[in-house]
Amino acid sequence: MAAKPLADLIDDCLAPALAAQGFAGRAIVSLWPEIVGERLAARSRPLKIDWPRRRPAPGETSEPATLVVRVEGAFALDMQQLGPVVLERVNTHLGWRAVGKLVLKQGPVEAPQQKPVPPPPDPAVVGRIAQQVAHIEDPGLRAALERLGLGVAQKSATTR
């Protein structure tokens, strides 16, 4: 049995919780900064998508969903003004006009998690890795193996 990437398994774990909030997948939640931009994402979080309760009759157009977003209190007015842009970006990301209304809920928004910056690699380790891959002729492969070696060395240094 082949190993699966963690990203493939996360959807299965998160799907029930996200479905309860109206999200079909984790894309809008996890890609919120890419969808709306860093400035908006720093002060807002998508909470849920409310889908219409009634199914359209044959030949009738379906009603779009409502996106509920938590916004910091002082930023709510800005977000309200940018509402049409947010809806356009979300719908563009989804690939169809799924969301037609934006509802803002004021409240605290957690700061996005900052990834820790790894310490610079030890020059001796960099030299040793460069020496180990120096015999490889293909420059692209050599550079990729150097990055891999540095990543492994940094990972092992942080777990000690």
What residue ranges do the domains of the chain occupy?
13-106, 123-159
In terms of pTM, does the model score above 0.85? Answer: no
In this structure, which CATH number among 3.30.70, 1.10.3470, 2.60.40, 3.40.50 belongs to the domain 13-106? 3.30.70
Nearest to 41 by CA among 95, 112, 103, 89: 112
Phi then psi dihedrals of residue 103, to 5 deg: -115, 130
Query: What stretches of the chain show up as alpha helix (H) in DSSP?
Result: 6-20, 27-30, 32-36, 38-41, 76-81, 83-94, 123-133, 139-159
Query: pLDDT 10s digit of each residue in the chain, 160 long?
Result: 566 665 555 555 544 444 444 444 456 777 888 888 888 888 999 988 888 876 766 777 778 888 999 999 888 898 899 999 999 998 888 888 888 999 999 998 886 666 677 778 889 999 999 999 999 999 999 999 999 999 888 887 776 6
